[in-house]
């Protein structure tokens, strides 16, 4: 049974940091592309960052470049998102997802990800 479980969300002040984790089971983690997505109230879900199965290639949406870092530990079946210099506009529910398809370093479409976690809330206060 495929399971993807996020953790690490919470409340942070603007300029602060949070580290999200995503633990996966039930599939060959090191063969899958992993991604972080977010959805704020009233907005569409967007791809935040994705990482190829080898870890050699990554994607970041423009608004988080230079502030967020995605990484993976295949030995622990765990995906991370280090979020620094947080802004109030980063407030959203953050989801971890898994896919067998790598769309390249310029996009990370959510419709190519069949496996999703329940999400973890990130709230950034001004």
Q: Distance between CA atoms of 47 and 45, rounded to whole angstroms?
A: 7
Report the pLDDT value the prediction gives residue 25, as an integer from 0 to 100.
96
Q: Distance between CA atoms of 108 and 87, rounded to whole angstroms?
A: 22
Name every residue whose Cβ is closer than 8 Å to that of residue 30 and which is 6 or more positions away in sequence. 53, 74
Name every residue whose Cβ is closer than 8 Å to that of residue 88 and which is 6 or more positions away in sequence. 14, 124, 125, 126
Give the number of other CB atoms < 10 A from CB of residue 77: 19
How confident is the prediction along the chain (126 residues), in pLDDT tens digits per residue? Answer: 999 999 999 999 999 999 999 999 999 999 999 999 999 999 999 999 999 998 889 999 999 999 999 999 999 999 999 999 999 999 999 999 999 999 988 999 999 999 999 999 999 999
User: pLDDT tens-digit profile of 43-75?
Assistant: 999 999 999 998 889 999 999 999 999 999 999
């Amino acid at each position: 049974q495929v399971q993807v479980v996020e953790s690490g969300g919470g409340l942070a002040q603007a300029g602060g940091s949070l580290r999200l984790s995503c633990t996966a089971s039930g599939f060959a983690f090191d063969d899958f592309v992993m991604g972080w997505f977010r959805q704020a109230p009233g907005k569409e879900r967007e791809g935040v960052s994705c990482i190829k199965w080898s870890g050699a290639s990554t994607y970041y949406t423009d608004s988080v470049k230079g502030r967020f870092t995605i990484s993976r530990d295949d030995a622990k079946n765990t995906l991370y998102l280090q979020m620094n210099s947080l802004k109030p506009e980063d407030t959203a529910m953050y989801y971890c997802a898994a896919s067998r398809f790598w769309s390249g370093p310029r996009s990370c479409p959510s419709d190519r990800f069949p496996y999703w976690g329940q999400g973890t809330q990130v709230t950034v206060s001004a």
